[in-house]
Amino acid sequence: MATQESYDAALAQAIHESQLSLMKKRGPITGHGDADFDAMWDILRLALREIHEKNASKLSFEQLYRASYKIVLKKQGDRLYDKVKEFEEAWFGEEVMTAIGKLITSNLVNIALGAVAGTTANERRLLGEEFLKGLKASWEDHITVMNMTTDVLMYMDRVYCADNRKASIFTTSMGLFRDHILRHRFSRQASDSNLITFDILNAVILDQVGMEREGDVINRHLIRSCIYMLEGLYETDEESENEKLYLTTFEIEFIKASRTFYQKECESLLREADASSWLRQTNKRLDEEEDRCQTTISPLTTAKIARVVEQEMISNHLTEFLAMEGSGIKAMIENDRYEDLGRLYKLISRVDPTKEPLKDALQKRVGELGSEINKTISSTDFSAVPAAEEGEAAEGADKSKAPKQTQTQKQTLAAIKWVDEVLQLKDKFDKMWKTCLEEDLILQTALTKSFSDFINLFQRCSEYVSLFIDDNLKRGIKGKTEAEIDVVLDKATTLIRYIQDKDMFERYYKKHLARRLLHGKSESADVEKQMITRMKQEIGNAFTTKLEGMFKDMSMSEELTSGYRNHIRNLGDADRKAIDLGINVLTTNHWPMESMGGGNARDENGRQSCNWPSEVTTLQDSFKAFYLKDRNGRTLSWLGYLGNADIRCVFPKVPGKEGVLGKERRHEISVPTYGMVILLLFNDLADGESLSFEEIQERTNIPTQDLTRQLHSLAVHPKCKVLLKSPQSSNCQPGDKFSFNTKFTSKAVKIKAPVVSGINKVEGEEERKDTEDRNDEHRGNVIDTVIVRIMKARKQLAHQMLFSEVITQLSQRFKPDLGMMKRRIESLIEREYLERVEDASTPTYRYLA
Q: Where in the chain do CATH 3.30.230.130 domains reside?
A: 597-760
Query: What per-residue confidence (pLDDT) applies to 439?
Result: 92
Question: Cβ contacts of residue 761 below 8 Å, gap of 6+?
Answer: 408, 409, 411, 412, 467
Q: Which of 72-86, 238-252, 292-306, 386-400 has the lowest mean pLDDT?
A: 386-400
From-to residues of CATH 1.10.10.10 in the chain: 765-847
| 259, pLDDT greater than 90 | yes
CB 796 within 8 A of CB 837: yes
Answer yes or no: are the C-beta atoms of 450 and 442 closer than 8 Å.
Answer: no
Residues carrying CATH 1.20.1310.10, the chain: 7-243, 253-338
693: which residues sit within 8 A by CB, 6+ positions away? 707, 711, 732, 733, 734, 735, 736, 737, 738
Fold of 765-847: Arc Repressor Mutant, subunit A (1.10.10)
Classified by CATH at the fold level, domain 597-760 comes out as Ribosomal Protein S5; domain 2 (3.30.230)
Distance, in Å, from the CA atom of 49 to the CA atom of 197, rounded to the nearest integer, reads 25
The identity of residue 229, as a single letter, is M
Q: Taking all residues of the chain, what is their mean pLDDT, rounded to a whole number?
A: 83
pLDDT at residue 597 in the model: 58
Q: pLDDT by residue (tens digit) across 202-219?
A: 989 999 999 999 999 999
| Strands annotated E in 555-664 | 644-651
The residues, ordered by sequence, that sit 6+ positions from 565 with a Cβ below 8 Å of its Cβ are 580, 581
Position 3 confidence tier, pLDDT thresholds 50, 70, 90: very low
pLDDT confidence tier of residue 251, bands split at 50, 70 and 90? very high
- Distances in Å between the Cα of 73 and the Cα atoms of 20, 36, 70, 386, 753 are 11, 12, 5, 123, 127
**31 vs 846, higher pLDDT:** 846
Torsion-angle region of residue 337: left (phi > 0), alpha (psi -120 to 50) or beta? beta
Q: What is the CATH number of domain 253-338?
A: 1.20.1310.10
Q: pLDDT (tens digit, 9 = 90+) per residue, 630-680?
A: 887 788 888 888 888 888 888 888 877 777 777 888 888 888 888 889 888
| Domain with residues 7-243, CATH architecture | Up-down Bundle (1.20)
- DSSP state string for 73-113: HTT-HHHHHHHHHHHHHHHIIIIIHHHHHHH--HHHHHHHT
Highest mean pLDDT out of 68-77, 748-757, 807-816: 68-77
Separation of CA 103 from chain center: 61
Question: What single letter denotes the amino acid at residue 748?
Answer: A
765/328 Cα distance (integer angstroms): 42
Percent of the chain with pLDDT over 70: 88
The pLDDT score that the predictor gives to residue 572 is 67
Give residue 390's pLDDT: 41
Model confidence over 149-160: pLDDT tens digits?
999 899 898 999
Which residues have C-beta within 8 Å of that of residue 8, sequence separation ≥ 6? 61, 148, 151
Dihedral class, residue 746 (left if φ above 0, else alpha if ψ from -120 to 50, else beta):
beta
| Range 406-416 average pLDDT | 75
**CB contact at 8 A, 488 and 472:** yes
pLDDT one-digit tens code per residue, 448-490: 999 999 999 988 888 889 888 888 888 878 888 889 889 889 9
The Cα 726–Cα 144 span in angstroms is 123
